[in-house]
Amino acid sequence: MNIQTTAATYAIETRNLNVYYGDFHAVKDVNLRIHKNKITALIGPSGCGKSTVLRCFNRMNDLIPSARIEGDVLFHGKNIYDPDVDPVQVRRRIGMVFQKPNPFPKSIYDNVAWGAKINGFKGDLDALVQESLERAALWNEVKDKLDASGYSLSGGQQQRLCIARALAVKPDIILMDEPTSALDPIASLRIEELMWELA
């Protein structure tokens, strides 16, 4: 079933969120509200559960066999853990960019176009790819080599390619898990500037 949301004040809200990995209680009673169209950062020491909480926002923890979630995660007022909610639909509406760039083993063009294609996009794919790469501040660097492998790009370029890939499916929210931690200062600055442009 498609996830139907209501006009809620917050983009994401958690209520008494608890996450377990087997018997290990990794995240305890998290209650937070994330406003729409804002950059929100989760800050804390290594291993405190930031990534675990982030993965709860688009049900990526569902893919970890030992993980168990208790509590509510509301996306525009709808609990994404309700039994009638399709996790794939959640992930289409709430995209994610990981700490380490993970381009597909495809061309630059296909990396961006793939998500739109499998989601039934019927418009001008070339225009969508260009728009997504422009928004990710990558178009001018790759426009003459769209058939090249995504692996041929530098680390910073690969990360911006992954952001373009996320943008192409037009999600409501993009989660970013330390997207600049493995990048040089110049590449990091470009991604930080991009976040401000997207907000």
Q: Among residues 38, 60, 90, which one ends one of the domains?
A: 90
182 and 147, same structural domain?
yes
Q: What is the pLDDT of residue 71?
A: 98
> What pLDDT sits at residue 1?
42
Q: How far apart are CA 98 and CA 93, in angstroms?
A: 16
CA 150 to chain centre: 18
Number of domains in the chain: 2
In this prediction, residue 191 carries a pLDDT of: 83
Shared domain check, 78 and 31:
yes
Separation in Å, CA 103 to CA 8, 58, 98, 108, 157: 34, 19, 11, 9, 10
Q: What pLDDT does 5 receive?
A: 54
Question: What's the CATH number where 23 sits?
Answer: 3.40.50.300
Distances (CA, A) of 154 to 81, 103, 142, 183: 37, 11, 11, 10
User: Is residue 77 domain-shared with residue 119, that is, in the same domain?
Assistant: no
Q: What is the pTM of this model?
A: 0.87
In this structure, what are the phi and psi dihedrals at residue 109, rounded to the nearest 5 degrees? Answer: -60, -50
In this prediction, residue 195 carries a pLDDT of 87
Residue 60: give the domain boundaries.
10-90
CB-count exposure of residue 147 (10 Å: 0-12, 13-18, 19+) = exposed
> pLDDT value at position 7?
54
Look at residue 97 and tell me if it is in a domain. Answer: no
Chunked in runs of 10, what are the mean pLDDT values of the chain (199 residues)?
A: 62 97 97 93 93 96 96 96 95 93 97 93 96 93 98 94 94 92 83 85
Q: How far apart are CA 117 and CA 63, in angstroms?
A: 23
CA atoms of 13 and 78, how far apart (whole Å): 9
